[in-house]
Amino acid sequence: MANIFAFAEARGGELRKVALEIVAAARQAADATGGGEVHAMLVGAPGIGAKAPQLAAVGADLVIVVEHAALDRYSPEGFAATAAARIKAGGYRAAFFPASAQGKDLAPRVAAVLGVSLASDLTSFALAADALTGTHPTHTGKIITTIKLTGTPAVATVRPGAVRVTGQPRAGKVEAAAPAIDPSSARVVVKALRSSGEAKLDLGEAPVIVSGGRGLKEAANFKLVEDLAAAFGNGAVGATRAVTDDGWRDPSTQIGQTGRLVSPDLYVAVGISGAVQHLAGMRTSRVIVAINRDKDAPIFKLANYGIVGDLFEIVPVLIEAVKKARTGH
Amino acid sequence: MKIAVCIKRVPDMDIRFSIAPDGRSLNPGDLKYDISDFDGYAVEAALQFNEKQGPGEVVVVSLGPDGAQETIRKALGIGADRGVLLTCEDAPFDGAVTAGALAGELKDGGYDLILFGRAANDTGNQSVGPMTAQLLDLPCVTAVSKLEIAGGKGSAQRQLEGAIEEVEFPLPAVVTIDEGVARPRLASLKGIMAAKKKPLEVKPAQLGTAHLTIEKIELPPERPAGRIIGEGAAAVPELIRLLQDEAKVL
């Protein structure tokens, strides 16, 4: 019976959604390999331990709370040393991290400290006694690769949204632990963390994304895209590389081969022709809507529903129609 | 500064891929190759640092088949000083194996800065940079969208989900480059000619045992063919109906 380690990511004293997902992932893995325990690690400033019950509710048998004033913000070296030391001491079969910005930074360091390989960004997985197998979109999403990771512990990152969180209440016993290194000795220091002022909902988490391209003609017209995203109630705003290169939108909102790779339930492309580099970032969206004046635009080859025409005429009508449809329920 | 930039030769992503009979690799006949996007940004960033801050050396290091010499020559063509190719049949999929081979090559190089792209276009594992740093016991910052180096110190920005992290670190260090730092310049004819004479050392890669392997690869499920449902604002009611009744996303 194997115990599983999960790294529960927090930011600003709050658990991130991926923290619950990763504990749920570890719960699945533990239950599939004989019902071992899930040990979730929670690192942060003093007081972060108050979040432990949320992790217990989704399947953590034990919450290892590491509180330290200097760990309020992320410390790559402090977090990596602390997680690696615990994974080593705990004799875990596997250790799961979210494939978030923080997890993608942290997990390779931890794997390297432990001298093991890393399975990255899994969209599904199965843990067995001898191997972890899973799927990982490669080649900018144009290929689905099934990987096999041997060795113990199996260290992996799991893509946000890949695991459904269900209530699986466990004891969630709390164990306090100290950082494995003095955090003030870390060479890499996060000096500040500030909101990027973009959409409240992150592109990786939003069920609906509305994106705009050059067809909007100027930066101010992105108001239409924002209003449409708001009309859906749960929409985030994305952009093409052409538009972020021109400084109309923050580079962090670029969707494409060199930007974010997203797969929301609904992707609405407004004034986007569909350059290959952009399609690479959104082709795995469940439903794609495109509004563009050029009926031959490549985006229409991908769009489940395309409307040809002037976006400045169509989008305002669509905004009102979406609002009405949502309140009509 | 003496800067190493680790680059990877990857298939051009614009191509329609097909799967080879072994079920684990792409049909090589389809493929064209180029430098991985973010690695190109890293090369450009290195060149700009040395152009601004006086003399230095930019060494391009790659791990891969002989064909990766071309990729290295491309970086030399835009201004890198010399190249090292660690040859093997195929670039390993297991980032730990790649990191081990690169760390062996880089460890006594006396580099002030070692740059990587944030992720390779093909594997997308995003693991080699930080693993290499760990093996070399160097400070490491990943996925930076802004990078400044001065007085033996670096400061960088990282894009998180809905937030920006500002990070400081001492040199020597390993940094992986994201969108936002630099876009590679185009090679001039003169640059391309000069690149042919620049040193490129080729030697066998020292590869450890892989524990991360590819079981199979598949094309993602085909999307249904695109469908234009109408023209102009008149098509909006039909779109709403489809989003509600067919797609069930509204």
pLDDT one-digit tens code per residue, A245-292: 999 998 889 999 989 989 899 999 999 999 999 999 999 899 999 999
pLDDT at A329: 52
pLDDT at A251: 86
- Please name the residue that has the structure tokens 């604002």: B233
- A232 and B240 within 8 Å at the Cβ level: the answer is no
Give Cα A251 to chain centroid, integer Å. 18
- CB < 8 Å to B25, chain A: none
- Interatomic CA distance for residues B207 and B92, integer angstroms: 9
Region A93-108 average pLDDT = 97
pLDDT at A234: 79
Please name the residues in contact with A8: beta carbons below 8 A apart, sequence gap of 6 or more. A15, A19, A20, A22, A23, A40, A41, A42, A51, A55, A60, A63
For the stretch A174-196, pLDDT in tens is 999 999 999 999 999 999 999 86
The predicted model scores a pTM of: 0.93
Q: Does A133 contact B at CB distance below 8 Å?
A: yes
A275 in Cβ contact with B12 (< 8 Å): no
- The 3-state DSSP class for residue B126 equals coil
pLDDT at B156: 98
- CB < 8 Å to B250, chain A: 232, 266, 322, 325-326
pLDDT at A197: 59
pLDDT at B223: 87
| Strands B140-150 and B153-160, bridge-based pairing | antiparallel
Q: Does B150 contact A at CB distance below 8 Å?
A: no
Distance from CA of B197 to the nearest CA of A (A): 32
Q: Does B239 contact A at CB distance below 8 Å?
A: yes
For the four alpha carbons of A120, B96, A145 and B223, in that order, the dihedral sign comes to positive
Region A151-171 average pLDDT = 94
Ramachandran region of residue A172, left (φ > 0), alpha (ψ -120 to 50) or beta? left
Gyration radius of chain A's alpha carbons: 22
Q: What is the DSSP letter of B83?
A: E
Instruction: Check whether the bond before B237 is cis (ω within 30° of 0).
Output: no
Secondary element (H or E) of residue B139: none
Mean pLDDT of chain A: 94
Examine the pLDDT at A243 and tell me if it is beyond 80.
yes
- CB < 8 Å to A78, chain B: none
Examine the pLDDT at B161 and tell me if it is beyond 90.
no
Of B212, B213, B231, the CB nearest to A309: B231
Q: From the CB of residue B34, how many other CB atoms can be counted at a distance below 10 Å?
A: 17
A37 in Cβ contact with A3 (< 8 Å): yes
DSSP string, B152-203: TEEEEEEEETTEEEEEEEESSEEEEE-TTS--PPPPPHHHHHHHHHS-EEEE
- Interatomic CA distance for residues A255 and B120, integer angstroms: 17
Share of chain A above pLDDT 70, in %: 98
Secondary element (H or E) of residue B61: strand B57-64
Q: From the CB of residue A201, how many other CB atoms can be counted at a distance below 10 Å?
A: 18
pLDDT at B222: 85
Q: Which residue of B has its CA nearest to A328?
A: B250
- Interatomic CA distance for residues B170 and B155, integer angstroms: 9
Residue A198 in tokens: 């973009």
Q: What is the DSSP letter of B103?
A: H
Please name the residues in contact with A63: beta carbons below 8 A apart, sequence gap of 6 or more. A8, A39, A40, A41, A42, A49, A52, A55, A56, A172, A173, A174, A175
CB contacts under 8 A, A 220-279 vs B, are 232, 251-252, 254, 257-259, 265-266, 276
User: Which residue in B68, B94, B72, B95 sits closest to B11, CA to CA?
Assistant: B68
Distance from CA of A311 to the nearest CA of B (A): 8
- A304 and B225 within 8 Å at the Cβ level: the answer is no
| Strands A189-195 and B163-170, bridge-based pairing | antiparallel
- Interatomic CA distance for residues B176 and B144, integer angstroms: 6
Ramachandran region of residue A150, left (φ > 0), alpha (ψ -120 to 50) or beta? beta
Looking at A101-105, B179-183, B196-200, which range is the least confident one? B179-183
For the stretch B30-88, pLDDT in tens is 899 999 999 999 999 999 999 998 889 999 999 999 999 999 999 999 999 999 999 99
- B96 and A102 within 8 Å at the Cβ level: the answer is no
ipTM rounded to 2 decimals: 0.94
Cα-based distances in Å from B39 to B71, B142, B175, B184: 11, 13, 11, 9
- B167 and A191 within 8 Å at the Cβ level: the answer is yes
Which ranges in chain B belong to alpha helices (H)? 37-52, 68-77, 95-106, 128-136, 189-197, 236-241
Q: From the CB of residue A105, how many other CB atoms can be counted at a distance below 10 Å?
A: 26
Secondary element (H or E) of residue B11: strand B9-11
- Interatomic CA distance for residues B89 and B86, integer angstroms: 10
Region A136-143 average pLDDT = 92
Examine the pLDDT at B6 and tell me if it is beyond 70.
yes
Examine the pLDDT at B128 and tell me if it is beyond 60.
yes
pLDDT at A200: 62
Q: Does B108 contact A at CB distance below 8 Å?
A: no
Distance from CA of B110 to the nearest CA of A (A): 19
pLDDT at B14: 87
User: Which residue in A57, A31, B118 sits closest to A8, CA to CA?
Assistant: A57
Residue A163 in tokens: 């695991």
